[in-house]
Structure 1
């Protein structure tokens, strides 16, 4: 009986040993399987990481480029803001200067207008008519620009009249009340002579405080006045003409006093 029990123990021990080995193999297989899975997951993670890294690097590059652009835009905006501020200050300064110049212009224009208006009555009739056609400086509806243009026209007309000898015709009133048609020879705007067609009326014209004056004076050589007019109109050859100047009239007035 005892001999039979020993083999049985031996078989049981062998089976136990084999069972232990089988469990060990199974565990190893499981460990290997887990290791393989971990390796696979690690490989996938590495692959995914490399893909993510490339994408993140591209994104970082784009972000850096965008940041540089934003920084440049911000600098330009600050520069533009500074430039605009300087430009605004310049415009404000220029506006102040323009307003000051405008005030000075208005003051000077007012003074010139008053002088021109006071001068009007002393102008010879042809020039006075030209001034009236140029405009009315006394018109309160005139803008500063229109008033300036009118004043410039008047000054131009005066300068042109002063630079030439001109001939005009008109009727002037004789002291006896009748209207006499005469030709007039103007030496600028300060001196004139007149003579009738038949040489029976002759005289001189000049400006005064009372305005432009015509004065009949038979002591003036009517033929000389007529000759001066004819030469100026190119109806006669150039010749010496002797005519009394304004000083003659002044001396005559002083003598009468």
Structure 2
């Protein structure tokens, strides 16, 4: 009887122990499943977040690549413009050197031919040419002055000019200063006559410079004729153009060595 009770007690104890073990295993399995579910849920959330981040980073990468491409294109454009400007600068400096060389030649030429020009034009150009020696004027101003000199020469050469001036002439072997009317035909020929007709002469361009011939000395370069009377007629026409008529005056063109100019 006692043996049976013990066996029964042991059997009950074994059943109780087995049930408890199964319960613990079941609980552990449920905990694991719960944790797995949470992990899967967390992973899905993180996965979507990572996808969004990757998408944003991809768009940002495209934007950065576009910016880099634009920056590269802009840099290339800047480099091209800089190169073009450099080439223009080099060409400008070359042209500037050419202009300066030509101006230097022109100024030397003016210096050489200035004494050969008619005296009134000499005085005008001398004042203008003095400005070319100033260090304060730039290349553009020098060029403007230089062109102005040639314009003055061209204008003087294209007309008959009447000029009133005091001249020192020889009258009866005596040097006398008298007021005369000078008539210039372009750059190379001129005649003068005093108010009373007592002093007259002829002037022309020569290799050594402008040269006046006074009174009887005129016959050494011009044919004999009544020169004072002819000069008087031209002077009257220039003073009163309505009285214009054909008048003959002798000319004398010296031979000039242009290579020496």
TM-score normalised by L of structure 1: 0.78
2:113 to 104, 109, 119: 119
Q: Deviations over 1:155-181 (max 9, x none)?
A: 121112122222211111102311111
Structure-2 separation of matches of 1:94 and 1:215:
56
Query: Aligned partners of 1:40 and 1:199: how far apart in 2?
Result: 140
Equivalent in the alignment of 2:188: 190
Structure 1: which 5+ residue stretches go unaligned? Answer: 252-257
Q: How many angstroms does 1:127 deviate by?
A: 1.3
Distance 1:229 1:53 in 2: 113
What does residue 181 of structure 1 align with? 179
The 5 A counterparts of 1:24-103 are 24-103=18-97
Residues 1:21 and 2:19 aligned together: no
Partners of 2:156 and 2:68 lie apart in 1 by 66
Residue 4 (structure 2) aligned to one of 3, 7, 10: 10
1:108-257 correspondence to structure 2 within 5 Å: 108-136=102-130, 139=133, 141=135, 145=139, 146-175=141-170, 176-217=174-215, 219-234=225-240, 236-247=242-253
Flag the 1:38–1:229 CA change in 2: closer, same or farther, 3 A. farther
Point out the more displaced range, 199-208 or 122-131: 199-208
Q: Verify the 8 A CA contact 1:192 1:206 in the aligned structure 2.
A: yes
Please give the alpha-carbon distance, in whole angstroms, between the structure 2 residues aligned to 1:23 and 1:67: 64
The change in CA–CA distance for 1:164 and 1:142 in structure 2 (over 3 A counts) is farther
3-state SS of 1:171 partner: strand
Count of aligned pairs between the two proteins: 243
Corresponding residue for residue 254 of structure 1: none
Mark the structure with the bigger radius of gyration: 1
Relative to the length of structure 2, the TM-score reads 0.77
Alpha-carbon RMSD: 2.9
Measured against aligned partners, the alpha-carbon deviations of 1:79-113 in whole angstroms (never above 9, x if no partner) come to 44544555555455444444443333333222221
By relative contact order (CA 8 Å, sep 6+), the higher-ranking structure is 2
- Indicate how the Cα distance of structure 1 residues 23 and 88 shifts in structure 2: closer, same or farther if over 3 A, else same: same
Structure 2 CA distance for aligned equivalents of residues 142 and 34 of structure 1: 103
Does the CA contact (< 8 Å) of 2:169 and 2:199 recur in 1?
no
Of 152-161 and 105-114, deviating more is: 105-114
